[in-house]
Structure 1
Amino acid sequence: MKNIIWVLFAAALLMTACADETTDVEKTEEDTTEQEKTEESTADTSDAKQNESEDEEKASGQSDKGETVQENISEPEYKIDENDSSVVPISEKGNEKAVLLTIDDVPDGHALNMAKTLKDLDAGAIFFVNGHFLETSEDKETVQQIHDMGFAIGNHTYNHELLPDLSTEEQEEEIVSLSDTIEDIIGERPQFFRAPHGANTDFTKQLVEDEGMVLMNWTYGYDYFEPYMDAEKLTEAMVTGKGPEADVPHSLLKPGANLLMHDREWTAEALEDIVIGLRDKGYEIVDPELIQTVN
């Protein structure tokens, strides 16, 4: 009898232990499951926050880029007067006492050095190119470099022919073919046009407008007169506006003057002193990017 009682007692203890163990296992499994849920929830929250942060960064980046693009878009401050080719302020930011620098017959050996000089002086200019100077890859690379330095590239016709002596078909070829060539080199069509010797026709005036270019001649220039093929004398003439040895005894320098120069050795040598001299007289050098264009 006692043996039976001990057996029953032992069995009861064993069942109790098993029950406790089962409870502990179930509790452990529940705790593990709960912990996994917590970790998953934390991971989901972390991922959500990370994604949100990335979205915010992207949005911020897009906003910053938008602001940068907006800042780089400048409103025109000047226009070219169609009557005398002078530079005229059209906004409050425009400076009445300003002049425009233009360089013709590019590239003919000195244009790149002239561009570097102007770049060092933080002075803008329009470089008017001719197609017959763009026959080699080196010449095209020169124009590309000038453009990459921030200077405007203008159309000065392909062969520098006197336009009134040409048929309308020939005039169109002289102008449009060069614009095509310029676009092939720098990726955009020119926005400024100057006829050789300043000789335009009614046909070319309309064609230039249709091509989206601003037509301009100039106020004065002296480097193509033999007496001024000297850096010192040229500097004096360009800064004062006087060219007595070219039958210009009075000054042509005035606010808005459109100054004509060429890709020449003596002009390249004089260029720095010309810019400094004009600034010493209180003149600002206009950035062509601020000139109103057709398109």
Structure 2
Amino acid sequence: MKKWILSTLLASTLVLTACESADSEETLETDNNETSQDSDVTDQEETTDSSDEETADLEDDTEEEADVAESIEYLYEVSDNLAYINVIDGKEANKQVALLTYDDAPDKHALELAQVLVEKDAPAIFFVNGMYLDSVEKKEILKEIHEMGFAIGNHSQTHPSLPTLTAEQQTEEIIKTSDLVEEIIGTRPRFFRAPFGQNSDHSKQVVEDEGMALMNWTYGYDWESEYMESDALADIMVNTNLLVPGSNLLMHDREWTLEATPAIIDGLRDKDFELLDPDLILSDELESEDVSE
């Protein structure tokens, strides 16, 4: 009888112990689950906060860029014949200016050109062809050139003679490149130059609808065989009798042009030409607002 009582007591004790252990494990599991849920909520809150901060930063950057754009006073405009840069009527500005422009970027030497221009503190427009923006590397080069402070212009997608294309093809040549540029640098080009300087009534209308300033050039030589050498090119670009106040200098993404650029800059400055900042040139989207000021 005593053995039976002892056995019963022992069994009861084991059952109670097992129950307490199960309760303890269940409580621990519940606590762990609650802790995990709390951690997940915290992580989600932190992720949301981080995302909100990034969005706020982007909005701040956009607002700052807009503020800068609004603070610029546009002093110059492209001449009616598209060859020169003139002071806007009623504005006070230096007429002894020359505009540096480089077409067919970013082919091979655009980034090096930009670096030389930065070293010489010389502004310029890089007119890009969409066909050169066909890789991550080229897109990064364009982004870097833009971040160095240079204006990015539209030079069409594949460098065709626009008047030989249908209206639809001309539109695609222009819009596709503007879309690509915007995708890469965040803003659309404000300037357009047609390949070979060949415009059509339709291409002009597309450019106007896009709010871009249409321009050709005053002179350029670096595609002619006798000037595919840096010394000869630098000499003609500075000493041609075509150099006048408001000249728009056409150059290209070429090795000899890269080598000639420092001497061209120095030569222009020696002749008391100010190198014009493209940010001061009016584009069609701004015309009605700024000219009336």
Q: Which amino acid aligns with 2:193?
A: R
Q: State which of 235, 247, 252 in structure 1 corresponds to 2:242.
A: 252
**Which residue number in structure 1 is paired with residue 291 of structure 2?**
none
Q: Which residue of 2 aligns with 1:232?
A: 231
Q: Partner residue of 1:246?
A: none
In the alignment, structure 1 residue 87 sits paired with structure 2 residue 77: no
Q: Tell me how far apart the structure 1 counterparts of residues 82 and 166 of structure 2 sit (CA, whole Å).
A: 26
Residue 92 of structure 1 deviates from its aligned partner by: 4.5
Q: Structure 2: any 5+ residue segments left out of the alignment?
A: 1-62, 286-293
TM-score, normalised by the number of residues in structure 1: 0.72
In 1, Cα distance between the equivalents of 2:102 and 2:252? 5
Give the counterpart letter for 1:265 in structure 2.
Answer: E
Letter in 1 for 2:119: D
Structure with the greater alpha carbon radius of gyration: 1
Counterpart Cα distance in 1 of 2:72 and 2:119:
22
2:71 equivalent among 67, 73, 84: 73
Query: For residues 74 and 123 of structure 1, what CA distance do their matches in structure 2 show?
Result: 19
Matching residue within 253, 262, 266 for 1:272: 262
Are the counterparts in 1 of residues 98 and 249 from structure 2 also a CA contact under 8 Å?
yes
What secondary structure, in the 3-state scheme, does the structure 2 residue paired with 1:169 have?
Answer: helix
Partner SS for 1:104: strand
Task: State how 1:107-256 maps to structure 2 within 5 Å.
Answer: 107-241=106-240, 251-256=241-246
Per the alignment, in what secondary structure is the counterpart of residue 219 of structure 2? coil
Gap regions ≥5 residues in structure 1: 1-64, 242-250
Counterpart amino acid of residue 85 in structure 2: V
Amino acid at match of 1:77: L
Structure 1 runs of 4+ with >3 Å offset: 69-72
User: Per-residue deviation at 1:172?
Assistant: 0.4
Q: For 2:181, what is the secondary structure of its paired residue?
A: helix
> Which string of whole-angstrom CA distances, capped at 9 and with x for unpartnered residues, describes residues 187-229 of structure 1?
0110000000000000000110001100000000000000000
Q: Secondary structure at the match of 1:127?
A: strand
CA apart distance, 1:85? 2.5
What are the Cα deviations for residues 35-90 of structure 1, in whole angstroms up to 9, with x where unaligned? xxxxxxxxxxxxxxxxxxxxxxxxxxxxxx99xx5798220111111214211112
Contact 1:82 1:216 in 2 (8 A): no
What value does the CA root-mean-square deviation take over the aligned residues? 1.8
Q: Sequence identity of aligned pairs in percent? A: 52
